[in-house]
Structure 1
Amino acid sequence: MHRLRVVPARRHGRERLYVCLPDGANVAWYDREAARVNLLRDDREDEVLEALAPFLTGPVAVGPPPVPTPAELARLTLHPDDDLAPNRPGEALLVAVERAPGPAHRLRPDPRRRALAAEQATGEALDRLDGAGWRTLHSVPLPGGDRVHHLLIGPGGLFALHVLPARRQRVRVADPLVAVGRRAPHPLLHRVRAAADRASHALTAEVRPVLVLVGPAHLSVAAAPRALRVLTDRELPGLAGPGGVLKPADVEALHAVARDRATWKRV
C-alpha cells in the first residue's frame, strides 16, 4: 500500500489540502471552508481519510467533486492569451517600462515608476480581500488605449478603481478637478467615471467609480463628488465592509466574464 502525502495549497482564495500519491498524482482534496473531502479515487477513501485525520476539524462530507459551475466551465475553456486574471498590478506599466526603460541617469524620477509603485501597492491591498469573497482584476485594457487600473468584484458590488500617486503631497478635489501638489488641477474625475461607465456596459452590471490616492500628505475634498468615491490607500479595506449586493455565485459569474479579454473589446 502506497503512503499518501498531504500538500496544502490555496486556490481562488480558498485553502485546500491535496492528498497525493508518491508520484504526485492527486487522489483527493479537502476544502476546509466547505467541510468536504472530494474524492477522485473511490477505492482510496479509507486511505484518504486516514491521511487527512490530523487536519479534519469536525464532521465532513465525502464524495466525488461537485459538478463545475458555468463560471468554472467558462474559465476552463478560456484561452490563456485571453485570460486577464494573471495580470499583475500595473501590468501595462510594467510592460511599458520593460520595453523602454529610459536613460539610466535622469534629472527627475520616471513618473511611470511612481505610477507603477502606486498601482502595485493598491493591487496588493485588494488581493488581500480575496479570502473575504472578493475578486480583483488588474490593468483591464479598454479599446483606445485606456484601461481600468483595478476592477474589484465582491459581495458589495463592482468597483472600477483609478489609482493616482500622491506620496507626501497635498491633494485637492473639487469635482471634476483634482490637483496634486503644485500641479495645475485637471478634470480627472471625468476619466474615472468614463472608465466605470465602460465597465458597466461591458459587464451589463453597475460598476461604481473609485479614485484611490496613494500616500497623500493631506487630502481636501470641496464637496462629495457625484456618484464617485475618493479614498486613500489606507482606506481600501473599507470597500470590503458592505455586502448584500452580490451572492457568491454572482461574484464568480461576473469574474468569469470580466477576465475574458473579448468582453472588453465591445466597449
Structure 2
Amino acid sequence: MSGLRVVPTWRHGRERLYVCDLGGRNLAWYDRDTGRVNLIDEAHREDVLKALKAFVAGPVTVGPPPVPTPAELARLTLHPDDDLAPNRPGEALLVALDRDLDRDLDHTLALDPARAHRHLPRLRPDPRRRALTAEQTIGEALDRLEGAGWHTLHSVPLPGGDRIHHLLIGPAGLFVVHALYAHKQRVLVADPMITVARRAPEPLLRLLRSTADRASYALTAEVRPVLALAGPADLRVTAAPRSVRIMQDTDLEELARLGGILKPGDVEALHAMARDRNTWGRV
C-alpha cells in the first residue's frame, strides 16, 4: 500500500500521529509519550512503520490498541454536560462574572441605547476578581503536576451552592485544595480562623475540613484538606492546624513528592468517578 498520510493531533494533552490511507481511514496511531504504535489492522504493519519512519526516534512497541480500562469506559459513556474535567480554574467565578457583566450591559443599554458605542464607566472592582486570581494561580500550579501521574478537577459543584475549588487526585492520595487570595499580605492561622491583612477572621479551616469530609463521602475514599495561599507576604501559624495542610502556591509541587498510596489504576478509577457531576449530587 502506498500514499499513506501521517496526521498529527493532540488528545488529552498528548501528541498522537495518525496514519491514514487515501480515503481517510485510520490504520494506526503513534503515541510519542508511550513510544507505542497501535495497529488497527496487523496486515498494514510494514506500510505503517515505513510511513512513520521519519517521525519515530528510538525503539517503539508495535501492537494492537490496548483494551480500555473500566475508568476509560466510564469516561467514554459520560455525557459531556456531566463531565467536570474540562472545567477551568475558577470556572464558576468566570461564568458568574460574565453573566453579571452581560446583565449590567443589557441594563445600561436599555436605559441609554446611545451608549452602545461608548465605553461603560469603570465600576468598583468586584471582590470576586481577587478570588478568581487565586483560583487561577493555584489551579495552574496543580495542573503542572499532570505529567507526574496526577489529575486536577476545578470548580467541583456541591449541593447548596457550595463547591470544591480544586480536587487533586494522584499517587499520594486525594486532596481538596481551597485557594485563598493573599497577594503581598500577611496571613495569620489560628485554627479554625484565618486572618488576611486587616480583614475580619474567617473559620476557613472548619469549612475546609467539612468540604473534605463531603468529598470523602462522595468518593468513598480518604480526602485530605489543603489551604493554598496565593502570594502571601508573610505567614504565621500559631499552632499546627488539625488535619489541614497549609501551603503557598509556590510550594504545591511538594505534594507530588509525598509517598505513594494509590496505584495508577486506582487513580484513574477515582478520577473517572470524581469527574462525573452526578457523583456529587447527594453530599
Shorter-chain TM-score tier: over 0.9
Q: Aligned pair 1:43/2:43, yes or no?
A: yes
State whether residues 213 and 231 of structure 1, in contact with CA within 8 Å, keep that contact through their aligned partners in structure 2: yes
- Residue 172 of structure 1 corresponds to 188
Distance apart, 1:29 and its partner CA: 1.6
- Residue 98 of structure 1 corresponds to 98
Distance 2:207 2:177 in 1: 11
State whether residues 4 and 48 of structure 1, in contact with CA within 8 Å, keep that contact through their aligned partners in structure 2: no
Tell me the secondary structure at the aligned position of residue 255 of structure 2: helix
State whether residues 7 and 20 of structure 1, in contact with CA within 8 Å, keep that contact through their aligned partners in structure 2: no
Distance apart, 1:34 and its partner CA: 3.3
Moved more, 123-132 or 171-180: 123-132
Distance apart, 1:13 and its partner CA: 4.8
Which amino acid letter does the alignment assign opposite residue 149 of structure 1?
A: H
Q: TM-score, normalised by structure 2?
A: 0.88
State whether residues 4 and 19 of structure 2, in contact with CA within 8 Å, keep that contact through their aligned partners in structure 1: no
Distance 2:209 2:129 in 1: 24
Distance apart, 1:135 and its partner CA: 0.5
**In 2 relative to 1, CA 132–24 (structure 1 residues): closer, same or farther, beyond 3 Å?**
farther
Distance 2:23 2:248 in 1: 49
Tell me the secondary structure at the aligned position of residue 100 of structure 1: helix
265, 270, 276: which is aligned to 1:249? 265
Tell me the secondary structure at the aligned position of residue 160 of structure 2: coil
Distance 1:222 1:82 in 2: 42
Q: TM-score, normalised by structure 1?
A: 0.93
Distance apart, 1:104 and its partner CA: 4.6
Tell me the secondary structure at the aligned position of residue 150 of structure 1: strand
Tell me the secondary structure at the aligned position of residue 175 of structure 2: strand
- Residue 3 of structure 2 corresponds to 2
Output one character per residue of 1:70-127: Cα deviation in whole Å (capped at 9) or x when no partner: 00000000111111111111111011101113685234x2111111111112111111
Distance 1:257 1:39 in 2: 30
Tell me the secondary structure at the aligned position of residue 148 of structure 1: strand
Q: After superposition, where does 1:4-153 map in structure 2 within 5 Å?
A: 4-7=5-8, 9=10, 11-21=11-21, 25-101=25-101, 104-107=121-124, 109-153=125-169
Distance apart, 1:25 and its partner CA: 4.3
Output one character per residue of 1:215-249: Cα deviation in whole Å (capped at 9) or x when no partner: 11111111111111011111111111123211111
Which amino acid letter does the alignment assign opposite residue 60 of structure 2?
A: V
State whether residues 14 and 131 of structure 1, in contact with CA within 8 Å, keep that contact through their aligned partners in structure 2: no
Distance 2:18 2:266 in 1: 27
Distance 2:97 2:157 in 1: 17
Report the aligned-residue RMSD: 1.8
Distance apart, 1:18 and its partner CA: 2.8
Distance apart, 1:2 and its partner CA: 1.6
227, 231, 244: which is aligned to 1:211? 227
Distance 1:223 1:14 in 2: 43
Distance 1:14 1:242 in 2: 25
Distance apart, 1:8 and its partner CA: 5.0
Q: Aligned pair 1:226/2:262, yes or no?
A: no
**Count of residues in correspondence between the two structures:** 265
Distance 1:155 1:104 in 2: 50
**In 2 relative to 1, CA 247–15 (structure 1 residues): closer, same or farther, beyond 3 Å?**
farther
Tell me the secondary structure at the aligned position of residue 174 of structure 2: strand
Tell me the secondary structure at the aligned position of residue 144 of structure 1: helix
Which amino acid letter does the alignment assign opposite residue 278 of structure 2?
A: A
